[in-house]
Structure 1
Amino acid sequence: MGGALTLTLAALAYPSMLGLTTVSSSPSRVIAQTQWGPLTEADRDFVVKVRAAGLWEYPVGQMALKKGTSKGVLVAGQHLISGHAALDATCRTIAPQLDIVIPNQPSAQQQGFINTLNADSGNKFDTDFANILRITHGQIFTTVAKIRSTTNNTLVRALADQANTTVLDHITVMEKTGLVNFDQVLFQQTTPPKLPAEDMTPPPPVPGQPQVVLTPPAGDTGAGGGQVTPSPSPTIG
């Protein structure tokens, strides 16, 4: 697996999570005073990152249920769908409360991950799926911890709590597939490329466009670490 996987992951330009490169010019700057505490640029960017993560990982989870060839990949796909549906519900609830505009589409780089996995099949799909998702979740894990330890906004803190549980769950199920190449993953996780900001940033929503909603599957039991039950939100379709 080693040599072929190295080439595969290298071709993906060291996948990295939206916002790991500092998006804000001054992350600690307070941009709003809210009833839930001050909101900083870093807080706002975190809510956007969590929403954007779901916009590509949720469909990839659906893809895993259709294309996965091992039980571990099928289980991981279920956890992606469930975990990001729960995180998405929280993001859609708190974003208007904090006056944060959230995207309706993933970034160009994240869409590239979808396209890559969509073109894969068989064992190649399973292997790329496990390693790409392990890299991206490993990267965002430290970001979640930083926000959790520094935010003074209770809504953002609750989202960080939920994200921490979900991301750790997703890291764990990827590792349980038995397909993760740890040497390569850890190297790429800690040495992401310097990509153009436009590749790392999701486009703003089109005015008047219905909001994309990541709905949990029927009978969902909460796999993936969903912890927050937000107020009801409208769904599409």
Structure 2
Amino acid sequence: MGGAVSITLGSLLYPSMLGVQKVNSAPSRVVATPATGPLTEGDRDFVVQVRSAGLWEYPVGQAASKKGSTQAVRSAGEHLVDGDAALDAACRSVAGQLGITLPNQPSPQQQGFASRLKAEHGKQFDADMATTVRATNGQFLTTIAGVRTTTRNSLVRALADQANDTVLDHITAVEKTGLVDFGQVLVRETTSPGPPAQDLTPPPAVAGRPQVVLTPPANSTVSPSPTTG
């Protein structure tokens, strides 16, 4: 599997609101008017959410593809790596065109998911990976649908389309393992209130530091997105 490589960050301004599930004070407020359509705070935050999701899930997929106890778990890991790498490329392209600076690390909550799974092995890892990925992707589907139906920016719309396809593929792949605990998934998706905002917000990228890139596997089966052209 491919690893994470780096390229140089541009001098883009980092958005002021980056919560993965954070409620903006004015999500419909227009912050820019590029040729591709008005860009709102909600649109901008969505691009960051896509980036943040891939930053934690990609290494989990790498781990699953190597230490999964069954072929179904290893196959699910390959789906995560392949899909997240392609979606990350589209996300970085869209962000560059819209002037959105992306984080280099996932949120503290997502870092916690990845750290816990990194320490696990065998059947415990298999089950926790499948359930955690299923729960987080299920939550993200709601966000994607909201953005897809409200955005007036064509680049954000295309990114939402690709994110939707990727998330559905990941959900299907982990469900095929037969290890998803749907009871836990329901609890995770409906628990309120959720974690504090600071746990859901990825830390800002440090200016001048290289940008993390999620590289696709050599045998990638995901076609390039039109947003990366």
The TM-score normalised by the length of structure 1 is 0.85
Answer whether contact 2:36 2:153 (CA < 8 A) is retained.
yes
Answer whether contact 2:30 2:41 (CA < 8 A) is retained.
yes
After TM superposition, the structure 1 = structure 2 runs for residues 42-61 of structure 1, keeping only pairs within 5 Å, are 42-61=42-61
Q: Which residue of 2 aligns with 1:171?
A: 171
SS in 1 for 2:42: helix
After TM superposition, the structure 1 = structure 2 runs for residues 167-206 of structure 1, keeping only pairs within 5 Å, are 167-206=167-206
Q: Which residue of 1 aligns with 2:115?
A: 115
Q: Shift in Å at residue 230 of structure 1?
A: 4.6
Query: Within 2, Cα distance between the matches of 1:129 and 1:121?
Result: 10
SS in 1 for 2:214: coil
Q: Which residue of 1 aligns with 2:207?
A: 207
SS in 2 for 1:178: coil
Answer whether contact 2:109 2:200 (CA < 8 A) is retained.
yes
Counterpart residue identity of residue 132, structure 2: I
| 1:163-218 deviations in Å (ceiling 9; x for gaps) | 01010111111111100111221222122543222211111111111110001011
| 1:45-70 deviations in Å (ceiling 9; x for gaps) | 00000000010000000011121101
Contiguous gaps of at least 5 residues in structure 2? 1-18
| 1:131-160 deviations in Å (ceiling 9; x for gaps) | 000000000001101100110000000000
Contiguous gaps of at least 5 residues in structure 1? 1-17, 233-237
Answer whether contact 2:62 2:77 (CA < 8 A) is retained.
yes
Q: Which residue of 1 aligns with 2:4?
A: none
Query: Within 2, Cα distance between the matches of 1:191 and 1:21?
Result: 15
Whether 1:65 and 2:65 are equivalent positions in the alignment is: yes
Counterpart residue identity of residue 73, structure 1: V
Query: Within 1, Cα distance between the matches of 2:198 and 2:187?
Result: 24
Query: Within 1, Cα distance between the matches of 2:194 and 2:181?
Result: 23
| 1:1-48 deviations in Å (ceiling 9; x for gaps) | xxxxxxxxxxxxxxxxx62231x2111111111100000000000000
Of residues 218, 224, 228 in structure 1, which corresponds to 2:225? Answer: 228
Q: Which residue of 2 aligns with 1:90?
A: 90
The TM-score normalised by the length of structure 2 is 0.88
Query: Within 1, Cα distance between the matches of 2:224 and 2:131?
Result: 26
SS in 1 for 2:212: coil
Q: Which structure would you say has the larger RCO, counting Cα contacts within 8 Å and 6 or more residues apart?
A: 2
Query: Within 2, Cα distance between the matches of 1:119 and 1:192?
Result: 28
Query: Within 1, Cα distance between the matches of 2:58 and 2:110?
Result: 12
Answer whether contact 1:162 1:227 (CA < 8 A) is retained.
no
Q: CA RMSD in A?
A: 1.4
Question: Once the two structures are aligned, what percentage of the paired residues are identical?
Answer: 60
Q: Structure 1 residues 72 and 192 mapped into 2: Cα distance closer, same or farther (>3 Å)? A: farther
Query: Within 1, Cα distance between the matches of 2:22 and 2:210?
Result: 29
Aligned length: 211
Q: Which residue of 2 aligns with 1:36?
A: 36
Answer whether contact 1:20 1:140 (CA < 8 A) is retained.
no
| 1:92-115 deviations in Å (ceiling 9; x for gaps) | 111121111110111111111111
SS in 2 for 1:211: strand
Q: Shift in Å at residue 231 of structure 1?
A: 4.0
SS in 2 for 1:34: coil
Whether 1:127 and 2:127 are equivalent positions in the alignment is: yes
Query: Within 2, Cα distance between the matches of 1:181 and 1:134?
Result: 9
